[in-house]
Chain A
């Protein structure tokens, strides 16, 4: 196993990994969206749109917290999504950089006197890089989960009802809900009966 062969095989494997990534996107374009409603799209990651404009997209979800600011729970989730998204990006970059740097230690195979130092350093850098990349995977999940929760909390309180945080005015209701219009029950419990005793009667 020559170092050159190892290096080229590693590069090939990395390229194959990148090439095998999926590329599914959403096919249906929503047509009836309420004013201010956040709609989801998938295009290499989750994309959130409102009124035809992109509000935020994975993984950074920048701008989502401002858009949903009038719903405290949504705002909190949006902030978390942005924090986790930023962490995921940073961890990915550092992880990949360290992992690629560890490949440089293979040059130490030629240096028989310091072979152990080279390999030890390479192993340590690779292991730390791998750990950071795994942590970035976890952060991506957290970012996406928080972002979807933020969108749902916002739409439940504001977006799907035809309002937006920028203009918090709701259209009138189309009618009462069934609970509101339910008829009164036919039989009500009888009120307590107080029997007047003859001694307490009016004289």
Chain B
């Protein structure tokens, strides 16, 4: 009688622990899929930016109206050494153009750089508070003008969207076998060993792709440098294939 009661108690305990484990696992995997949703909309001003792609919770590059000709792509590859760049919602594979003349930054521009923007002069009305722009100042002068070479971007060759949260399977709380005790001990030991590994991984590994973040940042920095440097293959007005006048 006492033994039967003890077995029943063990069984209930195993069920309870299994259920709680399943609950925690579900909570764990469920919360892991929630990323940050950015509401930032970059103005179309011709300055490239690194933005947060809410769909896959990764940093990605956006050109904000700028163009990306094949010469521009080759120059970015030459300056950064990356084979591809994450752009908006995909990846652009950068070409290798061994015959192309390497792009060089003009040394005289190094050091103090005063940005060239187009629009009205900016006047600070409230000291210590940046003014609000009804229309953003432009970094590419002709951007938005009718007849200006439209911005063209190479077709993304590889889909870069990775949906977050693969969906986890919770541990089932079934231990209804007659020999539940031994089975549960093995299950519990495996769980106790595995959980710290997953926990340490989640706690130490960065959620963003380091490679993708580096590619996006390098591409944006190189792109903006080339535009600011002048005579850039990334400037829509200067790109030969865009037909723009220099």
Contact = CB atoms under 8 A, between A and B. Distances in A.
B175 interface: no
Contacts of A27: 80-82, 214, 218
B20 to A, nearest CB: 7
A110 interface: no
Given A96-B200, A137-B32, A180 B195 contact: no
Contacts of A39: 221
A96 B117 CA distance: 49
B117 A174 contact: yes
B202 interface: yes
By Cβ-Cβ distance, the 4 closest A-B pairs, closest first, are A145-B36, A127-B24, A99-B199, A178-B145
Given A28-B221, A122-B192, A177-B118, A135 B137 contact: no
B84 interface: no
Residue of B24, B193, B203 ringed by the most chain A CB atoms within 10 A: B203
Interface in A38-72: 39-42, 44-46, 58, 69-72
Give the interface size bracket for B toward A: 35 or more
Contacts of A179: 135, 144
Interface of A: 1, 6, 9-10, 13-14, 17-18, 21-35, 37, 39-42, 44-46, 58, 69-72, 91-93, 95-96, 98-100, 102-103, 105-106, 109, 115-116, 119-120, 122-124, 126-138, 140-142, 144-146, 148-149, 151-153, 155-158, 160-163, 165, 168-180, 182
B210 A130 contact: no
B38 A9 contact: no
A178 B40 contact: no
A34 B139 CA distance: 12
Given A105-B192, A161-B122, A174-B141, A30 B221 contact: yes
A130 B24 contact: yes
B21 A145 contact: no
A39 B221 CA distance: 8
Interface string B132-146: 110111110111110
B199 A152 contact: no
B224 interface: yes
Interface string B201-244: 11111111111011001101110110011000000000000000
A135 to B, nearest CB: 5
A165 B130 CA distance: 8
Interface in B95-140: 105, 109-110, 112-124, 127-133, 135-139
Contacts of B229: 31-32
Contacts of B222: 28, 30
Given A126-B196, A175-B118, A71 B217 contact: no
Given A140-B207, A162-B114, A176-B119, A130 B35 contact: no
B27 interface: yes
Interface in B155-207: 185-186, 188-189, 191-193, 195-207
A140 B220 CA distance: 23
Contact of A31 (B36, B116, B124, B225): B225
A153 B119 contact: no
Given A136-B202, A170-B124, A173-B117, A70 B130 contact: yes
Contact of A178 (B81, B138, B197): B138
A70 B52 contact: no
Contacts of A126: 191-192, 195-196, 199
A42 B213 contact: yes
Contact of A9 (B29, B185, B193): B193
B153 interface: no
Contact of A133 (B38, B189, B191, B202): B202
A192 B29 CA distance: 68
A141 B80 contact: no
Contacts of A6: 189, 193
